[in-house]
Chain A
Amino acid sequence: MNIRDSKAEALFKKINTVFLCIVAVLCVLPLVHVLALSFSSSRAAGAGIVTLWPKEFTLEAYNYAIGRSQFWRSMGISLSRILVGLPVNMVLTVLTAYPLYMYSRSFKARNFYAWFFFITILFNGGLVPTYMVVSMTGIRDTLWALILPTAVPVFNIILLLNFFRRLPKEISESAYMDGASHLRILFQIFIPLSKPALATLILFVFVFHWNSWFDGLIYMNSSENYPLQTYLQNIVVARDFEMYSSATAEELKALAEVSDRTTKAAQIFIAAFPILIIYPYLQKHFVKGIVVGSIKG
């Protein structure tokens, strides 16, 4: 019985691995195609002859996006946004998730707070009122306009408080009985034990800050202060064909000199690059996990 079971298991494992590999390849093929496009000449891209390998290799698309001072400027703004925004988000997430993790019998106001935060996921005032408040609080055209309005990531907080609840209760309870302060329990017990969850949230927050572009457009007073994604959005993605319709012959030529396809393709990789770099470091934590038992004792 056991032997048959493990034979079936071995077969399942093989099929499972093969299946997952096929899915993984299906996920990556279009990406490889886009990568190939980004390194191909615009002629080859337009002719539709690029499949999974660059044709008529060139860096022109990358040059177009990167080869201006504004690119590096915007890159700097994006990086500072993350350097400030990520810690702000994470600190607020952790500080908020801890009291909310409590059950209402030990922290009465907890339910009120939980709904107070949760409501903001469903209801929002919309773009214009938010813009007005950002203006009124005097942070428009500063880095803070990209950070403060989204400083409290409620979705992440709810996720984290649920992870906190999965930690063995005995630890925190005994610490609490020993008179440890809340902050101490949070920082010395909860945080070390929640590395997988925190790694996940850091990834989410990183991706969020890195990919946001609309707030940069709305809150910044000068296109020179755009974060990277806002800059990239503007150079190609939303190219408006109305511009062509009323352009003079000389403007048309200037418009035509840029190929849409390869530049868009390059844009994706330029934009995703930093995320692909940090990903493996975070992945370590949420794939492997930690051995809860060893700390428990």
Chain B
Amino acid sequence: MKALPSAKAKRNVPLHLMLLPAVILVLIYNYIPMLGVVMAFQRYIPGRGLFGSPFTGLDNFKYVFGLSGFTSAVRNTVFIAFIKMVTGIVVPVTFALLLNEVRAKKTKKIIQTMIYLPFFLSWVILAGILRDILSPSTGIVNKFLMLFTDESVYFLANAGIFPWVIIITHIWKEFGYATIIYLATLTTIDPALYEAAMIDGAGRLSQTWHVTIPGIAPIVILLSVLSLGQILNAGFDQVFNLYNFSVYSTGDILDTFIYRISLDNLQFAIGTAVGLFRSVVSFVFVVASYWLADKLTDYRVF
């Protein structure tokens, strides 16, 4: 029954061909530009190009790492990005599961559409709205809080609270969109499994526990691994539009930090160096989690 190696290779030719167009495009538009990373080790001079600019070793990295505020920016970035990552998995999964329990199809559809809408608001405009809603004197949130306490909270200018404002508003804006993937995943669970569980006398809760959750687990693991690639990405647009000097200590992230430097100094190499730093860190995290997923759950995410 076993096909001969050569025959097998022959049957695989179409597979290579199917990949060919994507391979070519990725080579041209992703891999060739990647050679631009040498800029990270150069004092890049536009007119001289990548091969004419002088190499400076690790100078760019030393410069950026040595700037006051850099470590704190990295720390803030990792904190915000990590919580965003975890909640970015937990919240949409929970919602997909809860939504799955709603039997009335119309209600389900309407809710699903509504939670997905905030995705289309831009941070520029949301920032204005949030400043109004969270205002300590006139904001609705504080008016509500004042029912229980005397002191109003200046959410956007309180360094301890600010990162949480960033995280919560991020969840609010994005979770509906992220839920879509899990809803699509839920549809692929074999209904026969539910029938079998029902015959075994399992209630809804136990069905969810024994059928639904294992059913979507692979996709959850996959998206968790992929989202680790964002470990140094805390969301420039959002923070940039919401932060202010009084929360720099906890709210200044890598991207806003680099943005401010590049305003005064057109240093293409610095941006590249920081990009490379980010890529390497992400790579380490993703590979580690890929390997962990493989070892612990025997699941190759891709």
Contact = CB atoms under 8 A, between A and B. Distances in A.
A48 B122 CA distance: 20
B99 A292 contact: no
Nearest to A177: B1
B12 A107 contact: yes
A134 to B, nearest CB: 8
Contact of A151 (B25, B122, B190, B275): B25
B192 interface: yes
Interface string A256-287: 00000100110010011001100110010011
Given A125-B34, A148-B29, A275-B120, A289 B115 contact: no
B219 interface: yes
Most buried by B among A99, A154, A272: A99
Interface string A15-49: 01101110111111011011000000000000010
B265 interface: no
Interface residues of B, number: 84
A172 interface: no
Interface stretch (A57-65, A69-77, A160-168): A160-168
A189 interface: no
Given A155-B226, A162-B218, A237-B124, A27 B115 contact: yes
Contacts of B16: 99, 109
A288 B103 CA distance: 11
A170 to B, nearest CB: 12
Given A30-B118, A99-B15, A122 B113 contact: no
Contacts, number: 237
Contacts of B107: 17, 21
B165 interface: no
Contacts of B14: 181-183
A265 B176 CA distance: 21
Interface string A197-209: 1011001000000
A254 interface: no
A20 B187 CA distance: 20
Given A9-B203, A30-B129, A283-B112, A152 B22 contact: yes
Interface string A89-103: 000100110111010
Contacts of B58: none
B302 A100 contact: yes
B184 A199 contact: yes
Given A28-B117, A102-B15, A287 B108 contact: yes
Interface residues of A, number: 96
Nearest to B206: A5
A123 interface: yes
B187 A290 contact: yes
Contact of B129 (A5, A34, A130, A197): A34
Contacts of A30: 118, 121, 126, 129
Contacts of B23: 113, 116
Contacts of A197: 184, 188
A120 interface: yes
Interface string B101-137: 1111101111111111110111011101100100000
8 nearest A-B pairs in the assembled complex, by CB-CB distance: A289-B187, A125-B33, A129-B36, A125-B36, A129-B33, A24-B114, A99-B15, A272-B120
Given A122-B229, A125-B35, A129-B35, 19 more contacts: A9-B203, A12-B101, A23-B95, A27-B118, A28-B118, A99-B18, A109-B16, A122-B286, A130-B33, A133-B32, A161-B302, A163-B185, A166-B218, A200-B181, A264-B125, A287-B108, A288-B187, A289-B186, A291-B191
Interface of B: 8, 12, 14-16, 18-19, 21-23, 25-26, 28-37, 39, 50, 95, 98-99, 101-105, 107-118, 120-122, 124-126, 128-129, 132, 172, 176, 180-181, 183-188, 190-192, 203-205, 218-219, 222, 226, 229, 268, 271-272, 275, 279, 282-283, 286, 301-302
Interface of A: 5-6, 9, 12-13, 16-17, 19-21, 23-28, 30-31, 33-34, 48, 92, 95-96, 98-100, 102, 106-109, 113-114, 116-118, 120-126, 128-130, 132-134, 137, 148-152, 154-155, 157-159, 161-163, 165-168, 181-183, 196-197, 199-200, 203, 237, 261, 264-265, 268, 271-272, 275-276, 279-280, 283, 286-293
18 contacts: A6-B203, A9-B205, A19-B98, A27-B118, A92-B25, A107-B12, A113-B23, A114-B302, A117-B26, A124-B34, A125-B35, A129-B32, A182-B14, A196-B187, A271-B120, A286-B184, A287-B108, A293-B192
